[in-house]
Structure 1
Amino acid sequence: GQIRVNSGRVHPSYRLKLDDLIRVPPVSQRSPAERKFEKEDTDWLVERIIYEDSRILVLDKPSGVAVHGGSGISLGCIEALRYLRPTLPSLELIHRLDRGTSGCLLVAKRRSALRRIHQLLREGQVRKNYLALVEGAWQGSETDVDFNLTANRRKKGETFVRVDSEGKPAHSRFCVIERYQSGATLMEVSTTTGRTHQIRVHAAHMGHTVAGDERYGNQEFNLIMKNKGLHRLFLHALSISFVWPQTEEEFFVSASLPDELGQVLDGVSASR
């Protein structure tokens, strides 16, 4: 709200004209050395790095940790990594995961790697697989969900995503792994688009909300799952795969299902 045009505020629909004077407030960014982090703030990262080479590294992100700071969060994964690796000035997130989602998070160590994988993402050449526990008995064994999505920001800064024919294209493929007598289905979900809250909104639109989803979910179902030991969003980024441009090198990385989610599955009875 501090941007000014010709020393005054303008409506968001205002079109800039030749010779307009624009004032953009300076962005204050602390260097890693200036941030008041403690060593224990980043110790957890060491054992969470599940892959690393000269181009990228992959974190097995825990649920509840943001990928970056902001909105009252001073320390996210990328800030902690930069603090832990001060000799790598080009560390950048390649993509994002919701705060409640665990699993594979790609981080670029070089700008060239960032550009190359971003190009693959734009072309739909990066395959991301997730595990999700959803409400109800999903019909059929495999379902392609293609609904465009639009993201809106609410007054409190929260993002709410909805299905919108005028929105951005989004594709998710839901494959049934197991159905449970407790009224839930374990799904493997693959995506080649990475829209905000994509899997959660697609699942909800299909009538099968993700367990533990406080934004798009079913409160009654969430309570049932909570009584079975679920205290987070049941969505885990299981694996990522792509082919490196130029070298044609195949890349694949996976992160095991966290123990707390495995225990939830142990607590439900499978049905055939």
Structure 2
Amino acid sequence: MNTDKPKVQFIDISDDIAGQRIDNFLRNRLKNVPKSMIYRVLRKGEVRVNKKRIKPEYKLQEGDVIRLPPIKIPESTKAAAPSTKLEKVAELEKCIIFEDDHILVLNKPSGTAVHGGSGLHFGAIEALRALRPDARFLELVHRIDRDTSGILLIAKKRSALRHLQAQFREKIVQKYYFALVMGSWKASCKKVTAPLLKNEVNSIVRVNPNGKASETRFKIMEKFEQATLVQASPITGRTHQIRVHAQYTGHPLAWDDRYGDPRFDAYTKKFGLGRLFLHAANIKFSHPANGELMDISAKMDGQLEKTLQGLRKTL
């Protein structure tokens, strides 16, 4: 039994970390601490930056000093490294679609979280670290939802992480998703700019005039009898952005358990669908080492392809 008492920690922020939101930084650093606990200590002012209270959206700056209060992690939430013998862990090795000395690109399966926490023993990043025990550095560059499949970018060097995160902040990175939405998407609807507000307790996102500016661009790829396959490109990176913007237009995504329509789920089930139809299909960015333009695509899984084949037969 571990009797060590947690202590106050002081963390100096270097240029490597500058630019991150304090809540995201804490969620990365305190991987086994429930998200609700992190937001609670932030809200109560127990986390200080330069001896001052800060909000969750505060962006860290080089030279900042964070005071972390003693946080006791419940034994039940402490997770050991995942075994490489687990089928789900071993399968991720086959999902790597690009790798060099600086970056790794994963075609993440639907149902796999990007990282552990919130009751999950491990996610894609923990599994990759278990598969690569000799890797000195493996960190997520960005995130995608657990039920979303497709491209997940991982840095193998801190310099690569900094370079790529800067590209995301400066909106240099281009991301394209495939989404199956309910009904007939209007060709005139090429952009949705509704502001989004996230409830930090339950992570539900709603269109709200007090929310953050958000923009998603849409393009019709294929039309079916009762559905449309669209390409969605998020210009901003808000939580659940594509899903909420699609719902806002009256065209929710298939099998979206938060923002969807059960009638559409029942319809698409006839074609073999049983998961969220949202796939991160393509990403374009500059290579962090040589500046080369990277254009990487990830194939949809068999279930999504089968669903589209079934829908085509109805035309």
Normalization by structure 2: what TM-score? 0.75
Correspondent of 1:25 among 40, 64, 71:
71
Change (3 A) 1:201 1:18: closer
Give distance in 2, aligned partners of 1:3 and 1:145. Answer: 47
Give distance in 1, aligned partners of 2:85 and 2:41. Answer: 45
Give distance in 2, aligned partners of 1:267 and 1:257. Answer: 15
Give distance in 2, aligned partners of 1:62 and 1:173. Answer: 24
Counterpart for residue 200 of structure 1:
243
1:233 aligns with 2:276: yes
Counterpart for residue 126 of structure 1:
173
Give distance in 2, aligned partners of 1:77 and 1:151. Answer: 24
Counterpart for residue 305 of structure 2:
262
Instruction: Give the gaps of 5 or more residues in structure 2.
Output: 1-5, 9-39, 54-66
Q: Is the 8 A contact 2:160 2:288 kept in 1?
A: no
Give distance in 2, aligned partners of 1:76 and 1:123. Answer: 27
Counterpart for residue 229 of structure 2:
186
- Counterpart of 2:161, as a letter, is L
Counterpart for residue 48 of structure 1:
95
Give distance in 2, aligned partners of 1:247 and 1:11. Answer: 39
Give distance in 1, aligned partners of 2:112 and 2:192. Answer: 28
Give distance in 1, aligned partners of 2:108 and 2:133. Answer: 20
The secondary structure found in structure 2 opposite 1:159 is coil
1:250 aligns with 2:293: yes
Relative to total residues, which structure has the larger helix share, 1 or 2? 2
Give distance in 2, aligned partners of 1:90 and 1:18. Answer: 31
RMSD: 3.1
Counterpart for residue 137 of structure 1:
184
- Structure 1 residue ranges (4+ consecutive) displaced by more than 6 angstroms after TM superposition: 15-22
Q: Is the 8 A contact 1:142 1:176 kept in 2?
A: no
Correspondent of 2:263 among 220, 235, 243:
220
Change (3 A) 1:209 1:27: same
Give distance in 2, aligned partners of 1:72 and 1:145. Answer: 34
Q: Is the 8 A contact 2:111 2:148 kept in 1?
A: yes
Change (3 A) 1:189 1:58: same
How far does residue 191 in structure 1 lie from its aligned partner after superposition?
2.0
- Counterpart of 2:125, as a letter, is I
Identity among equivalent positions (%) equals 44
Give distance in 1, aligned partners of 2:41 and 2:229. Answer: 50
The secondary structure found in structure 1 opposite 2:172 is coil
Instruction: Trace 1:92-107 onto structure 2 (pairs within 5 A).
Output: 92-107=139-154
How far does residue 116 in structure 1 lie from its aligned partner after superposition?
0.7
Q: Is the 8 A contact 2:82 2:122 kept in 1?
A: no
Instruction: Give the gaps of 5 or more residues in structure 1.
Output: none
Higher relative contact order (CA 8 A, sep 6+): 1
Give distance in 2, aligned partners of 1:81 and 1:10. Answer: 30
Correspondent of 1:167 among 191, 211, 221:
211
Counterpart for residue 148 of structure 1:
195
- Counterpart of 1:101, as a letter, is T
> In terms of mean alpha carbon deviation, does 125-134 or 37-46 score higher?
37-46
| Alignment size in residue pairs | 260
Q: Is the 8 A contact 1:128 1:190 kept in 2?
A: yes
Q: Is the 8 A contact 1:63 1:101 kept in 2?
A: yes
The secondary structure found in structure 2 opposite 1:266 is helix
> In terms of mean alpha carbon deviation, does 74-83 or 168-177 score higher?
168-177
1:24-48 CA deviation, whole Å, 9 max, x = no partner? 315699xxx9525242342101111
Give distance in 2, aligned partners of 1:190 and 1:11. Answer: 32
The secondary structure found in structure 2 opposite 1:106 is strand
How far does residue 88 in structure 1 lie from its aligned partner after superposition?
1.4
- Counterpart of 2:174, as a letter, is R
How far does residue 222 in structure 1 lie from its aligned partner after superposition?
1.1
Give distance in 2, aligned partners of 1:40 and 1:11. Answer: 36
Q: Is the 8 A contact 1:180 1:270 kept in 2?
A: no
Correspondent of 1:35 among 63, 66, 81:
81
Counterpart for residue 82 of structure 1:
129
